[in-house]
Structure 1
């Protein structure tokens, strides 16, 4: 990695924590199963810790989204054939990725990781695989099973578009500056688009309604919206409307949302 990139100081305002352990970096890149035919997008390359290994894969197209102007310039100079896009990944038009299968990878800032994942899994129809490092607590939520405390709105949403796999924990000591909590790496494998929710807007609405009052029974939360169709849905599923939101499966969230 170039000296210029290494000298760059982390900016707290951008949630920057730079990876410095090459073994961890290689494991993260290997998890995306890169090949020479791949189109890979990296979110927040920072000093290029993952980028260095991504470049070595010989992927046919490699794009980096970096909102720090100084880092973007230095990455451009270090790897001229790397396509560096200077912008906030939250504002990237994910639906525009339609030129064929793509893979997305990144060490995501803690403050925007969940929002980015929410958008990417539901908007990139050409996604082949994604691997993200996130705060450990978020990783446990992303991979939680129905009925457990960690299962939440993010779990219900993401698992209607992807299957998620918890890969490994990453300690604070491999970052500079060191965060105060553990991180973890999660792999996302998309479901076929034809199995995606028929009404994603309704699903999103239902998830937000239910998990804003997650300690209450579903029948209580939906009292003002209750109708015969919802009543019949619970009967057909063979479950009580008195259960709490975390006891529904992701697919049950999707089918129930269509009855609202």
Structure 2
């Protein structure tokens, strides 16, 4: 198999036990369609294929790996391309399950896109930098809670499954990793609400140390102040004190006027 490419942020998983645990979290069943993002040398692929889903696809940007992987697993359908440009809307069935050891440098924007654009899927399991895993699973009021947290948690429930040390990778990263389970919510924002929510989160968390009444000062007298009062919320709160649902409700109510 080809060597790791630093330009692509590749850190290949070497430990079979860790790979087995990640794939087990997908709960692959007969009839499932599994899509693996960035299979690398196939540490996860081996366990996915062994579970015998109905269909196995792998999305791989590295051309050398994209050519080598089907030689080892002929059943594997390789999609050569960049996950950041993938049409996630094509995922539209609960039988879809998605997994990947994501490069640290693209994990956050990739998850941001996937979680909001995928039509429907059964579950997803991603290994990311541990700091990002903490952000994805943080609760309001914590230092890890941010725009990524509030965005993702409006589309999926997240669970930090386990922590992974650097020793199981080649080359070894300088930080720990974390494995996160994503379970799609039945009630997710529509396209229009999602655009408003994204704008609201950017506006708030770019000034996260300020009070919300100051961040939203220009809109406060146009209804947002009243909304805060209705919710029993103080304008002295900071962005990390609002729940994901609070942000969604505000975006849906005021998005046409303030955040699109």
TM, length-normalised to structure 2? 0.95
Aligned 1:139-178 pairs, distance under 5 A: 139-178=133-172
- Which residue pairs with 1:33 in the alignment? 27
SS at match of 1:199: helix
Which secondary structure state, in structure 1, belongs to the residue aligned with residue 122 of structure 2? strand
Quote the residue 2:60 is aligned against: 66
| Corresponding position of 1:190 | 184
What whole-Å deviation, never above 9, does each CA across 1:18-77 have from its counterpart, x for those lacking one? 000000000000011111211110000000000000000100011100000000100021
Partner residue of 1:231 out of 225, 241, 250: 225
Q: What is residue 243 of structure 2 aligned with on the other side? A: 249
Give the Cα–Cα distance (whole angstroms) in 1 for the partners of residues 167 and 95 of structure 2. 35
1:106 equivalent to 2:105? Answer: no
Aligned residue number for residue 212 of structure 1? 206
Name the CA distance, whole Å, in 2 between partners of 1:16 and 1:88: 14
How far residue 100 of structure 1 moved from its aligned partner, in angstroms, is 5.5
Superposition CA RMSD, Å: 1.2
Where in structure 2 are there 5+ consecutive unaligned residues? none
Q: How many residues align?
A: 253
**For the residues of structure 2 that align with 1:40 and 1:195, how far apart are their CA atoms?**
22
How far apart are residue 128 of structure 1 and its match? Answer: 1.1
Structure 1 residue 99: Cα displacement: 5.4
Q: Which residue of 120, 125, 143 corresponds with 1:126?
A: 120
Instruction: Supply the distance in 2 between the matched residues of 1:162 and 1:100 (Cα, whole angstroms).
Output: 14
CA-CA distance at 1:226 after TM superposition: 2.5
Q: Is the 8 A contact 2:120 2:184 kept in 1?
A: no
SS at match of 2:45: helix
CA distance in 1, matches of 2:20, 2:11: 17
For residue 127 of structure 1, give the secondary structure of its aligned residue in structure 2: coil
- 2:6 pairs, out of 5, 12, 30, with 12
